Amino acid sequence: MTEKQWHECLGELVRDYIRSPELEFYFSIKMNKPRAAVMVKQQSLFVRHRRDCWAHVSANCPVLGVKQRILEHEYEEIIRDDFSDYGHLHLIIRQGKSVGLEPEEIIHAEPLPETLATLYAWSWMTSEMPWTESLAGMTITEWCNDDRLLGDLGGGQSTRMAKKWMEDMGFSWKEIPNLQAHSQADEKHSDMFLPFLAEHATGNKEAPAIQAAKDSLAFNAMYRKGIALAQEKIPL
């Protein structure tokens, strides 16, 4: 497929994902601070784990251009970008303060069963599968925050959740820096790896890469459903 065709293919997968029952459930949960704290803790595990996963993709990939692009991506996530001088985990810690969490509670968060299963799945995908497949599986999760693609469906994950935090708890953008950043930063990250899929995920590598993207979205849906189930148990 061409770069444009990859964009259309992955875009349709993400649009199906955002309309899935798991995501509808995830966005249906009314927020209060204890419920929001569940999300913050699990998101901190998600963000840290992705650093390992991107490192696996790079280690398995012989293409220097892909390694360079991953380093660019990870510099913005871990070191500095337009949204933080200390990396995106710092944004989560700042957002955690808005719901009463201390940094230590976020750093030492325990994974929900669904979170643990999802992190194991992504770890296996990125360390054991061919790099073209793991690249597709990782990059498509960035697309889940792309408002350009999902604007007519209410926006990407971060934009929709930001609206919930503001509507349900009266928060401002300043109080939700992680959601604010990812409602914007992942538009850039969505586009970063399309040229490499068009160049390298060709022939008999194309279908497995698409399947890996589908599987990764299924993992993401399970992770979000787990958060919603835990939140639902907490009284309003």
The model scores a pTM over 0.75: yes
Compute the distance between CA of residue 220 and CA of residue 54 in angstroms, rounded to an integer. Answer: 16
Instruction: Determine the average pLDDT of the residues in 122-150.
Output: 96
Render pLDDT for 143-164 as a digit per residue (tens, 0 to 9): 999 999 999 999 999 999 999 9
pLDDT at 191: 85
pLDDT band at 82 (very low <50, low <70, confident <90, very high): low
Residue carrying structure tokens 């979000």: 224
pLDDT at 77: 81
Q: For residue 64, with 0-12 CB atoms within 10 Å meaning exposed, 13-18 middle and 19 or more buried, which class applies?
A: exposed
Listed in sequence order, the residues at least 6 apart from 142 whose beta carbon sits closer than 8 Å to its beta carbon are 186, 189, 190, 192
pLDDT band at 78 (very low <50, low <70, confident <90, very high): confident
pLDDT band at 183 (very low <50, low <70, confident <90, very high): low
Render pLDDT for 12-67 as a digit per residue (tens, 0 to 9): 999 999 999 999 999 999 999 999 999 999 999 999 999 999 999 999 999 999 99
Report the mean per-residue pLDDT for the chain: 92
pLDDT at 18: 97
Domain 3-232 matching CATH 3.40.640.10: the answer reads no
* The two three-digit tokens of residue 19, written as one number: 């309309």
The domain segmentation of the chain, as residue ranges, is: 3-232
pLDDT band at 178 (very low <50, low <70, confident <90, very high): confident
